[in-house]
Amino acid sequence: MSQLTTRSRSIFDFASKKQELISLKQESENQEFWNNPDSAQKTMKRIARLEDQLNEWERIAAELDGLKSLLELDDGSLTEELDASVTKLEATLAEKEVSILLSGRYDPGNALLAIHAGAGGTDSQDWAAMLERMYLRWAELKGYKTEILDRTAGEEAGLKSVTISVQGNLAYGYLRCEKGVHRLVRLSPFDAAHRRHTSFALVEVLPEIEENDEVIIHPEDIEIEVYKSSGAGGQNVQKNMTAVRIIHLATGLVVTCQNERSQTQNRESALKVLRARLFEIQQQERDEEVSELKGEFKKVEWGSQIRSYVLHPYQMVKDHRSEFETGNTQSVLDGHIDGFIEAYLKMKKPNPVS
């Protein structure tokens, strides 16, 4: 029990977070606080996040105190019940430990998830659709809200590309661990000879950037086109010019959105995606990772994958960065990918929490 208490204190710096909350609340009571609405809103969001975190840790501390009290009174009849409670609390602390690793500037916010079919033809497009389902299931398990902003179906099956908005606390922090090429090995359902095929799909993850953040898009920087939506949505969608295509003149980036019935909503969503892509390019240029704008994509083929999903001749999903693996492929494809995310986060942490 003492180890559990020590661990809970080491994971979360309660005192500093509480002091930060007090300081921010004092700042919000200043008469000039709302003179800058954008800054004020960010501060209020930070206050709300800190309050949620502190309340959760106070609940965990109360549970620890309760368990210690029961342990002192236990005559042996509560041993099994106490063991179960400690195990449950250990699992909660393990989850909190992972969330503490998500300390990046944009980790707490929403994410834009894009999936692109790569080398492999129809099999690759089907694989992209399988990944779409996997991430939608994962988001559902997390309690996140999702919205498909743009989707291009494959000629025979699956999809060529899809862009999904994932909204919820730490959505970007978790999903950024999934960025890269995903490889599938299976007996192809599209091959008459039922031979084994290898397919690839690229997963992109971008932070949702606020309009007033460091990426500013001026009206003269873009060209906006409207056209008829090609996706599902009923006759009204087909008749009305609701889909939007935005071209960023300086970079040549093209973003489309045809999910909403309203042209205005599609325009706002497309700008959101464009803002995120421009932000990513800025980050890459700062890090000197690329020299050309079109160099942002890795080649989607053999050798560049971050994770392999093998369905034949054996069953295994393995992450090539963290070496984390599991034989329960169906569970992974049903959205249970937290083990891979946690292993990657712990691997990337310079000084792991002890």
3-class secondary structure per residue, 210-224: CCCCCCCCCHHHEEE
- pLDDT for 286 equals 72
Please tell me the distance from the alpha carbon of residue 11 to that of residue 1, in angstroms, as a whole number. Answer: 16
Give 288's pLDDT tier (boundaries 50, 70, 90). low
Give 143's pLDDT tier (boundaries 50, 70, 90). very high
- pLDDT for 300 equals 54
Average pLDDT over residues 40-60: 84
320 in Cβ contact with 332 (< 8 Å): no
Average pLDDT over residues 78-85: 75
- pLDDT for 296 equals 46
HSE-up (13 A, CA, CB side) for residue 56: 15
The token duo for 96 is: 């909190």
Burial class (CB in 10 A: 0-12, 13-18, 19+), 12: buried
Residue 299: pLDDT over 70: no
Residue 328: pLDDT over 80: yes
- pLDDT for 77 equals 65
Residue that the structure tokens 């393990």 belong to: 94
Of 171, 131, 172, the C-alpha closest to 151 is: 131
Please tell me the distance from the alpha carbon of residue 2 to that of residue 5, in angstroms, as a whole number. Answer: 5
If you compute the radius of gyration of the chain from its CA atoms, what whole number of angstroms results? 24
Alpha helices in 143-184 (DSSP H): 171-175
Q: CA angle at residue 23 from 20 to 25, to 5 degrees? A: 110
124 in Cβ contact with 118 (< 8 Å): yes
The token duo for 11 is: 């994971």
Give 148's pLDDT tier (boundaries 50, 70, 90). very high
Report the sign of the C-alpha dihedral through residues 80, 85, 86, 90, in that order. positive
Residue 234: pLDDT over 50: no
Average pLDDT over residues 138-162: 94
Please tell me the distance from the alpha carbon of residue 82 to that of residue 99, in angstroms, as a whole number. Answer: 26
- What digits encode the pLDDT tens for the residues 155-180? 889 999 999 999 998 999 999 999 99
Q: What DSSP state is assigned to residue 170?
A: T
Give 307's pLDDT tier (boundaries 50, 70, 90). very high
Residue 39: pLDDT over 90: no
Residue 135: pLDDT over 60: yes
Q: In what helix (H) or strand (E) does residue 239 lie, and over which residues does it extend?
A: helix 235-239
Identity of residue 258: Q
Please tell me the distance from the alpha carbon of residue 250 to that of residue 282, in angstroms, as a whole number. Answer: 13
Of 349, 354, 338, the C-alpha closest to 11 is: 354
- pLDDT for 151 equals 93
Q: In what helix (H) or strand (E) does residue 132 lie, and over which residues does it extend?
A: helix 121-142
Average pLDDT over residues 27-49: 88
| Predicted structure pTM score | 0.75
Among 56-60, 182-186, 306-310, which is the least confidently predicted range? 56-60
> Domains in the chain, start-ordered, CATH in brackets?
2-100 (1.20.58.410), 109-354 (3.30.70.1660)
Please tell me the distance from the alpha carbon of residue 186 to that of residue 315, in angstroms, as a whole number. Answer: 10
71: Cβ–Cβ under 8 A, 6 or more apart, which residues? 1, 82
- Tally of CB atoms within 10 A around 149: 23
Of 162, 154, 156, 112, the C-alpha closest to 133 is: 162
112: Cβ–Cβ under 8 A, 6 or more apart, which residues? 149, 163, 164, 165, 166, 204, 205, 206, 207, 208, 272, 273, 276
Residue that the structure tokens 């999910």 belong to: 259
How far does CA 135 lie from the centroid of its chain? Answer: 9
- What digits encode the pLDDT tens for the residues 240-283? 778 999 999 999 999 999 876 688 889 999 999 999 999 988 88
Of 214 and 29, the one with more pLDDT: 29
